[in-house]
Chains A and B, each alone.
Chain A
């Protein structure tokens, strides 16, 4: 057993993170940048950061991931990385010809005090940025927050680089989807088109990180929010920002820069969060919730009524990113399940509060922790003390699942060992159906596997 060393007693542990439930900011910035059409992400730091982020995203999406690096050396770290970044910008535009370069910093460049706005301004002044092209940037120190913080910071960088005040177009809505899968972004766009709401989603990795086989290695696949659309975000009548952690800061900045009002919605996972999202959309756009969506909602309810007996009372442990865990926990509670252990490496007291509130509606008092040492070691300790019937989270749950024979549904980032997340959404009513299917299959497969012969049922 790989996790045999885990001690059941939860003792004070402040300095050591074991099996983290988060990673660092820059990868989030890279993922966000990939959601802009014709954009080359660029990592201002050592070569390794960029290589690790590209590898991780490649493992998760099975897609080529292009990104540049400032390739810091000892010299750059002493004298500052300005020369490297300016040279990189020049090289990238010369050879890779992107529309946009999205630069993010790293722990190294932050600590030596490189000033991205000033370096980028220098590159522009010295003619390294061709006419009509753009360099946007975000400060993403790895020692603050998590990958989600980095994502949020780059989305802010997008707003900063593109937003301009404009004449408000009556029903144009901005959607900031937060860190969700390309399949989720596509599903949100489908919902919007069903409701005939004109919208701009940014970033949008659909068609980028789930691109088809074409016989070509496309450095800039078809998907991603276009510069043209980004230049109009200031003209939207409203912004729906999904997820406080990943999207709030960008929506706030946009409201300051271009007076676009905004609402923070939960990512529409599960019935209630999807209901709220659709109602908010209807409210801000003046469009009606379409019949098709009501039909799908009925289908979700139908599945739950049919299968409730397999769900009720089941204890669940889940980990991942706060914006996803909140609606997911709410959905589990609505399914009559018991989310009892919840961990997020991304810091946030508000997260713990929301989770407790949601659970309190069903008199559940969960173990919940976020931030430092909210890691998979702690999760394992909690499960050892109070076992669960289902695990929901990223690939790193597979050790606990195997050691303790607990059904496991993969959700979140990263998923290195299964496919599906790129293509099938977990948001909206369609996504609820998929979550139900995955959870039920996991639970019922175990029942089938372990039932004594006389109780092994054909019909379930």
Chain B
């Protein structure tokens, strides 16, 4: 398998640091038949809005899109859990022919009277883009009847990539922001954008900010609540993680409400500390915040350094391959793996842009393969060629790594332990060390070196 040729059209999507000076090709529609790991517009919208727990999420279309996205993402809620249920208009052939508007209206009526949500999101799937139901008009009408936001999400699957889905989700959120009055919001206040509370990560991050004296107005969208989101325009600053998915909203808010934004990351000690300091610097009129941040960082790091050293010993010199949705996550992972004494031999993303790949190139060691919109053939080939010991990816990549006989860490939505923050960094080290050093590898085969 490893010797399969590359598709000619794919060659420009792959570069090797140093030896290739050309710019990587990216932000292109996927090549048909390439077996991409990418998803669609709907998927992008669905993952961004999904964690809003007191809203109902109605998928308008045939049943599949609702079925495949039913409770597959561990975005935890501290209260209501409406987001974990699956609602579909389940369109049949007749409705595809005659239009699904009547059914959508009836479904929304039933849904809202049954669940009494704070809001409803209506996702348009591929079919809606073809049959042209007036989803906007129906949402408006239903919203007027029940007095709650009923927001159409323009997530027609084929109309772009997952990134366009993020944008559609941001547009939907933007409609909710500013709908409630803002009073009693302190100056040192922020919104946390692009944090989805996987395995409770938002709770860890929130606690850091609260400890250093900053008020959180809303989290978008992890453990999200409609009334918090409606007041988000009252915050002094937006901090944006996983920038691919939420930058659009930060920009929209800056334009309309003048809310400035900062890009941050919570993966790896270096980036978490930097993020906290940058936010503290923003509120430089309140110097105690920076002092608190320094204290917090010191305590969080020192209290874990001994245990972390144990894992570092196991990980030193090991080689990792990274394939993630958003390139931004790869930046943090590279730094984080480096701080654990590891080397990154392959770094790729589904949807990075030119700027992202330039940053990747700067961050990576010479010889590292950098890859855009990869497929399993390319991934397994380079894992073997570069003799990676560990793969960091998502659900579709996990069994591939296992078959190849190397360690794996899910850094996507199926992770069950938090990987963000200082605590998450330790969990991360622990998880990759345990996967790499699992006794099972004594019983398995590995293509790049026979039985270990």
Interface bits B83-105 vs A (CB < 8 Å: 1, else 0): 01111111111011000001111
| List of B residues within 8 angstroms of A108 by Cβ | 126-127, 130, 157-158
Interface residues on A, range: 35 or more
Closest to B126 in A: A108
Closest to B103 in A: A15
Residues of A with Cβ closer than 8 Å to B? 2, 5, 7, 13-20, 22-27, 42, 45-49, 51-56, 58-59, 62-74, 76-77, 84-85, 87-92, 94-97, 106-108, 111-112, 141-144, 146, 211, 213-219, 345, 372-373, 396
| List of B residues within 8 angstroms of A73 by Cβ | 29, 158, 160
B146 to chain A, nearest CB (A): 15
B326 to chain A, nearest CB (A): 15
B306 at the interface (CB under 8 A from A): no
Residues of B with Cβ closer than 8 Å to A? 1, 4-7, 29-43, 58, 61-70, 72, 81-82, 84-93, 95-96, 102-107, 110-111, 114-115, 125-127, 129-131, 157-161, 376-377, 380, 395-396, 398-400, 402-405, 444-447, 450-451
B100 to chain A, nearest CB (A): 9
Identify A68's interface contact among B35, B81, B102, B114, CB under 8 A. B35
B67→A71 contact, CB < 8 A: no
B1→A218 contact, CB < 8 A: yes
Identify B399's interface contact among A15, A62, A88, A142, CB under 8 A. A62
A412 to chain B, nearest CB (A): 14
How far is A53 from B64 in the complex, measured between Cα atoms in Å?
9
B61→A107 contact, CB < 8 A: yes
Identify B400's interface contact among A59, A64, A74, A90, CB under 8 A. A64
| List of A residues within 8 angstroms of B159 by Cβ | 74
B39→A219 contact, CB < 8 A: no
9 A-B pairs whose Cβ atoms sit less than 8 Å apart in the complex: A5-B82, A23-B67, A47-B157, A51-B396, A55-B68, A58-B399, A95-B4, A108-B157, A372-B92
How far is A215 from B383 in the complex, measured between Cα atoms in Å?
12
Closest to B30 in A: A71
A27→B64 contact, CB < 8 A: yes
| List of A residues within 8 angstroms of B402 by Cβ | 62, 213
Closest to B130 in A: A111
How far is A55 from B33 in the complex, measured between Cα atoms in Å?
17
How far is A433 from B414 in the complex, measured between Cα atoms in Å?
34
How far is A316 from B451 in the complex, measured between Cα atoms in Å?
48
Closest to B131 in A: A111
A94→B92 contact, CB < 8 A: no
B95→A143 contact, CB < 8 A: yes
Q: Using known A-B contacts A91-B34, A214-B403, A217-B1, determine if residue A23 contacts B110 with beta carbons closer than 8 Å.
A: no
A19 to chain B, nearest CB (A): 5
Residue in B1, B62, B93, B96 with the greatest tally of chain A CB atoms within 10 Å: B62
B168 to chain A, nearest CB (A): 13
How far is A373 from B450 in the complex, measured between Cα atoms in Å?
53
Q: Using known A-B contacts A48-B157, A143-B95, determine if residue A66 contacts B403 with beta carbons closer than 8 Å.
A: no
How far is A219 from B403 in the complex, measured between Cα atoms in Å?
11
Q: Using known A-B contacts A68-B35, A71-B29, A219-B377, determine if residue A144 contacts B405 with beta carbons closer than 8 Å.
A: no
| List of B residues within 8 angstroms of A141 by Cβ | 62, 93
| List of B residues within 8 angstroms of A66 by Cβ | 35, 376
